[in-house]
């Protein structure tokens, strides 16, 4: 271990394979109509992946949740109780109280773009416009911004304003044939904005989707994103009441949703231009979220912290009993020769942080144990709340953490 440098774990085979594919997609110029599987968890693509998706896959998109208010009442809405119906703004996992919170989160996460979502974002049009101006002014026109909204919330005047203020990509959610005209109008009035459609792949709706495909192609829509219908704590009862059942295991998807999406992908190969992309629920956790956490961890990791392949931070921690945190830190530096940059006082959690090697050394010192110092290995998210996923007292077997960081 080199003092002053975080230890970065080797990426898994799954990540290495996916990163190679991501690079090929980024450099792709032709619109291949062959159906491709993008990863080891089942996402599929016909055509060229939208730029917003490419950035999201790489963990390079900040999710800007601009309001939890919504007037659509979708039975499959997965938004948590923490956000649903509340007019709050979140930048990734950070509750926003000022513009500075948004800018700081974009910086620390290394975001190259932003996904604006909700709730229904366009219930707060002026807020959205203000954030577009903020992001473009601070990060430049190359900072890619896409907005996800319903057709029912979109008005011609609003669409023009979004384009004028720099929106790069619009993702529309129609609720049926009555919204198709709205999509067509968006393709005419959206300037050089990329126009796409994003909807869940609902079991039983294959005939509707197969009719929808040629319509989207005929009006110049660039892409159709199909998300796997997934269960959450907030929509579970609604989905079960309508006869949907979960796949089971580690998947939160609904049975039949992936079958619908794959059937649409097969038919999309017969089209000339429209991109169709299927994003399963497990893809969000195993690829998108992991990449975002890895990007963030590499930017925020302190010298004593190790970054796992999942983007989590692992460290040794000391709870120094009767000694103050400052006294314990002095002992580590003065008596054990730990470099000062490998010692961090965490007043919020009432502990002293250091490396795994240091706490292992301390664990062999009877004096330290006799003075009531408690030692542990901690694994936590690199987010502002630093949610702990694992705490192992040093007396327990430590191989669980070590194996994950090899």
Phi and psi at residue 30, to the nearest 5°: -90, 150
Read off the DSSP letter of residue 287.
Answer: I
| Model pLDDT for residues 75-106, shown as the tens digit of each residue | 999 999 999 999 999 999 999 999 999 999 99
At residue 36, the pLDDT reads 85
Strand intervals (E) in 60-193: 61-65, 90-91, 94-95, 113-117, 144-150, 169-173
Task: Identify whether 1 is part of a domain.
Answer: no
The residues pairing with 227 across neighbouring beta strands, listed in sequence order, are: 200, 279
For residues 269 and 243, give the distance between their C-alpha atoms in angstroms, rounded to a whole number: 31
Task: Identify whether 372 is part of a domain.
Answer: yes
Task: Assign 393 a pLDDT band (cuts: 50, 70, 90).
Answer: very high
Q: State the CB neighbour count (10 A cutoff) for residue 33.
A: 15
Residue 164: domain span = 31-296
Task: Identify whether 18 is part of a domain.
Answer: no
Residue ending a domain, among 269, 296, 323, is 296
Lowest mean pLDDT among 22-36, 223-237, 378-392: 22-36
Q: State the CB neighbour count (10 A cutoff) for residue 358.
A: 23
Domain count, the chain: 2
- Same domain? For 91 and 206 the reply is yes
- In 3D space, the residue among 209, 203, 296 whose CA is nearest the CA of residue 257 turns out to be 203
At residue 32, the pLDDT reads 65
- In sequence order, which residues have a C-beta less than 8 Å from that of residue 196 and are 6 or more positions away? 50, 169, 170, 171, 172, 221, 222, 223, 224, 225
Residue 192, pLDDT above cutoff 50? yes
- Same domain? For 133 and 272 the reply is yes
Task: Identify whether 5 is part of a domain.
Answer: no
- Same domain? For 289 and 348 the reply is no
- Same domain? For 257 and 320 the reply is no
- In 3D space, the residue among 190, 171, 106 whose CA is nearest the CA of residue 143 turns out to be 106
At residue 30, the pLDDT reads 46
Task: Identify whether 120 is part of a domain.
Answer: yes
| Model pLDDT for residues 38-64, shown as the tens digit of each residue | 766 678 999 999 999 999 989 999 999
At residue 406, the pLDDT reads 40
Does the pTM surpass 0.75? The reply is yes
- Same domain? For 280 and 308 the reply is no
- In sequence order, which residues have a C-beta less than 8 Å from that of residue 333 and are 6 or more positions away? 339, 340, 343
Task: Identify whether 25 is part of a domain.
Answer: no
Task: Assign 402 a pLDDT band (cuts: 50, 70, 90).
Answer: very low
- Same domain? For 257 and 342 the reply is no
- Same domain? For 156 and 270 the reply is yes
| Model pLDDT for residues 140-191, shown as the tens digit of each residue | 999 999 999 999 888 879 999 999 999 999 999 999 999 999 999 999 988 8
- In sequence order, which residues have a C-beta less than 8 Å from that of residue 100 and are 6 or more positions away? none
Helix segments in 145-205, DSSP class H: 156-164, 180-189
Task: Identify whether 36 is part of a domain.
Answer: yes
Residue 7, pLDDT above cutoff 90? no
Residue ending a domain, among 268, 296, 324, is 296
- Same domain? For 230 and 312 the reply is no
Question: What rounded mean pLDDT belongs to the chain?
Answer: 89
Residue ending a domain, among 257, 274, 296, is 296
For residues 211 and 236, give the distance between their C-alpha atoms in angstroms, rounded to a whole number: 29
- Same domain? For 36 and 179 the reply is yes
| Model pLDDT for residues 285-334, shown as the tens digit of each residue | 788 888 999 999 999 999 999 999 999 999 999 999 889 999 999 999 99
What is the CATH number for 153? 3.20.20.70
> Is the Cβ–Cβ distance between 268 and 298 less than 8 Å?
no
275 vs 8 pLDDT, higher one: 275
- Same domain? For 242 and 380 the reply is no
Interaxial angle between packed helices 290-300 and 99-108, expressed in degrees from 0 to 180 and rounded to the nearest 10: 90
Task: Identify whether 12 is part of a domain.
Answer: no
At residue 41, the pLDDT reads 66
- Same domain? For 317 and 217 the reply is no
- Same domain? For 200 and 309 the reply is no
At residue 368, the pLDDT reads 79
At residue 341, the pLDDT reads 96
> Is the Cβ–Cβ distance between 347 and 328 less than 8 Å?
no
Residue 17, pLDDT above cutoff 70? no
At residue 22, the pLDDT reads 52
């Amino acid at each position: 271990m080199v003092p002053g440098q975080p230890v970065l774990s080797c990426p898994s085979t799954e990540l290495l394979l996916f990163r190679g594919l991501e690079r090929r997609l980024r450099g792709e110029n032709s619109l291949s109509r062959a159906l491709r599987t993008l990863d080891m968890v089942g996402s599929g693509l016909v055509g060229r992946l939208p730029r917003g998706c490419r950035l999201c896959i790489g963990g390079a998109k900040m999710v800007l949740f601009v309001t939890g208010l919504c007037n659509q009442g979708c039975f499959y809405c997965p938004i948590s109780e923490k956000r649903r119906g509340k007019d709050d703004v979140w930048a990734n996992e950070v509750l926003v109280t000022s513009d500075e919170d948004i800018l700081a989160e974009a910086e620390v996460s290394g975001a190259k773009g932003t996904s604006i979502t909700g709730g229904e974002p366009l219930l707060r049009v002026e807020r959205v416009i203000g954030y577009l101006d903020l992001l473009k002014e601070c990060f430049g026109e190359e900072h890619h911004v896409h907005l996800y909204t319903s057709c029912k919330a979109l008005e011609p005047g609003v669409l023009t304003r979004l384009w004028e203020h720099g929106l790069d990509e619009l993702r529309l959610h129609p609720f049926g044939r009555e919204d198709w005209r709205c999509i067509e109008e968006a393709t005419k009035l959206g300037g050089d904005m990329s126009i796409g459609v994003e909807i869940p792949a609902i079991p039983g709706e294959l005939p509707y989707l197969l009719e929808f495909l040629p319509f989207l192609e005929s009006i110049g829509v660039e892409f159709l994103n199909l998300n796997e219908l997934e269960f959450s704590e907030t929509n579970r009862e609604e989905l079960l009441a309508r006869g949907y059942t979960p796949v089971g295991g580690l998947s939160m998807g609904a049975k039949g949703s992936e079958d619908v999406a794959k059937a649409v992908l097969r038919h999309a190969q017969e089209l000339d231009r429209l991109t169709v992309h299927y994003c399963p629920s497990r893809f969000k956790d195993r690829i998108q979220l992991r990449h975002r956490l890895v990007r963030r961890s590499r930017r925020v990791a302190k010298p004593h912290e190790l970054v796992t392949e999942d983007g989590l931070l692992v460290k040794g921690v000391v709870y120094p009993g009767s000694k103050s945190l400052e006294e314990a830190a002095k002992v580590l530096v003065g008596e054990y020769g730990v470099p000062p940059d490998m010692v961090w006082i965490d007043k919020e959690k009432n502990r002293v942080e250091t490396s795994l090697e240091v706490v292992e050394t301390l664990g062999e010192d009877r004096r330290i144990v006799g003075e009531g110092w408690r030692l542990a290995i901690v694994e936590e998210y690199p987010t502002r709340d630093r949610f702990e996923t694992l705490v192992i007292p040093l007396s327990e077997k430590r191989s669980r953490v070590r194996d994950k960081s090899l």
